[in-house]
Amino acid sequence: MDDYTLPFWIYLCVLTMFVGGAMKKILASHLSTAPTLVAWLGATVLVERLWAFCLPAVLLLTLLGLTCCIYSATRTGPPSTNLPAHGKAVFITGCDSGFGKAAAKRLDTLGFEVFATVLDLSGEGARELQRTCSPRLTLLQVDITQPQQVQQALLDTKAVLGLRGLWALVNNAGVCVNFGDAELSLMSNFRGCMEVNFFGTLNVTKTLLPLLRQAKGRIITISSPAGDQPFPCLAAYGASKAALNLFIDTLHHELEPWGVRVSTILPAAYKTGQSSNHAYWEQQHKQLLQSLSPALVEDYGEDYINETKELFQSHASQANPDVTPVIDTIVQALLSPQPQVRYFAGPGVGLMYFIHSYCPYSLSNLFLQKLFMKKKLMPRALRKQSGFDLNLSLHNNNNNNEEEEEEKLK
């Protein structure tokens, strides 16, 4: 062992940390592969490097396998007792439909005191909540982009709670108002996404924080993988979620001394809100074409823009209508004695983050393109350029052939 240099030891330590981190990431990624199998695959990499130490391979594998089995047993063992829901008040934004409405109904059933915000108190979603939920549920008409309405919601909530604090805030309200390349996305779309997804959520969170600190409660935010990974044609939405993710991650550190737990839920693709409304997509598409300059429409082509709309509609139609995994995750984050900082809700999200974290960028980017936007058309200007280059190449080849023929005749 005296023959090994300091750089080798450093390399070995770095490799060990990387493999250990990769194993931990895989085991936490909700992949279908058995955790013990993945752990043993990681162990073989360590064995290959540690063989130089002349350590008995069987002993080493036995120790590593035992460690992985113990870790796996602790993960699959009996769950810790959840906290009681009775007497706990939860404030949920965006309950007109989707995750918010389903969460309000589930939490009311479990015995929570729910404050559910809706955009329209006379809308279908609000009427359904009034019809199906207990008297414990309080409906509040709130547009989270309007500070006065958020302040009024605070006063209404305090009037019901009295001297009690607020156990949890579920930041669910969000919007995706654009589709298409960043250059084709209107500035109003970027601002609209930021106003709702970031500034609106920021305002609600800051407004309710005194009540949350009083109860040593929790903040649970429904975000999106688009805030961490560059999904094609979702620049406006992704940028707003990226800002939101950083804000929530910062709160996690800042509120820890206060006893407030902060969690982010990253769901897979589900049918929520306007995602399956074809009339909505057609209206957005028409508005986009009317707002773009003729030069941009000429460069990209109406067929290219139309293909993007159709791909979005296809992706939305294939999304899962059953939002149960997300609602189950919200309940887990609310009642777990030790809630996680981040939750992956739905199939494929853990795998996506693993590829994003550990694979080369080119592979991660290819994975996103194949998973999300399988575009076949190039922008019109690029198609013209490719055709021009091809014609120029054929012309040059013909000229070269003619010159060769002339040389042979001479």
Q: Which helix or strand (DSSP H or E) is residue 325 part of?
A: helix 324-335
Q: Which helix or strand (DSSP H or E) is residue 18 part of?
A: helix 6-27
Burial label for 342, CB within 10 Å (0-12, 13-18, 19+), is middle
Structure tokens, 12: 């070995």
**CA 167 to mean position of chain CA atoms:** 24
d(CA 122, CA 119): 9
| 8 A C-beta contact, residue 272 and residue 98 | yes
d(CA 348, CA 150): 35
Burial label for 189, CB within 10 Å (0-12, 13-18, 19+), is buried
d(CA 233, CA 202): 25
Place of tokens 């990226």: 242
Place of tokens 């777990």: 336
| 8 A C-beta contact, residue 180 and residue 301 | no
The question of whether 11 is a catalytic residue gets the answer no
Amino acid identity for residue 290 in this structure: Q
Per DSSP, which regions of 93-232 are E strands? 113-118, 138-141, 168-171, 218-222
Q: Which long-range contacts (CB under 8 A, 24 or more apart) does 133-138 make?
A: 133/104, 133/105, 133/108, 134/108, 136/108, 136/111, 136/112, 137/104, 137/108, 137/113, 138/113, 138/114
| 8 A C-beta contact, residue 110 and residue 86 | no
Amino acid identity for residue 304 in this structure: Y
Catalytic residue among 4, 237, 304, 353: 237
Residue 233: which residues within 8 A CB-CB, separation 6 or more?
179, 180, 181, 308, 312, 373
Q: Which residues are catalytic?
A: 237
